[in-house]
């Protein structure tokens, strides 16, 4: 049933676009979808470049980082005073 309805609508649209018609509106053919599509440009297959940019990575710097943190944080051990508020 759906296929029959879809085919009927496709035929109706094709016939209404191909049939001669008069533009009675104030703007003429600018409001007519069939005339606008008839005078449109051909679709192109140009797509934008969506590839990510290539970044050349150099060698990692040999600068030493921060010293490793050892021990428990202040206030984590019972009886140890919490850090002072600055």
- pLDDT tens across 20-46, in order? 777 777 777 677 777 777 777 887 777
> Rounded to whole angstroms, how far apart are CA atoms 3 and 40?
29
Please state the domain extents for the chain: 7-38
Residues 6+ apart with CB under 8 A from 54: none
Residues composing the chain: 86
Q: How confident is the model at residue 51 (pLDDT cuts 50, 70, 90)?
A: confident
- Residue 78: burial class (beta carbons within 10 Å; 0-12, 13-18, 19+): exposed
Query: Does 5 score more than 70 pLDDT?
Result: yes
């Amino acid at each position: 049933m759906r296929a029959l309805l879809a085919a009927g609508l496709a035929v109706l649209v094709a016939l209404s676009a191909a049939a001669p018609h008069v533009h009675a509106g104030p703007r003429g053919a600018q409001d007519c979808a069939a005339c606008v599509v008839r005078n449109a440009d051909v679709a192109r297959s140009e797509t934008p470049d969506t590839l990510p940019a290539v970044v050349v990575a150099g060698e990692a710097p040999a600068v030493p980082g921060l010293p490793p943190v050892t021990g428990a944080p202040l206030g984590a051990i019972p009886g140890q005073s919490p850090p002072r508020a600055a």
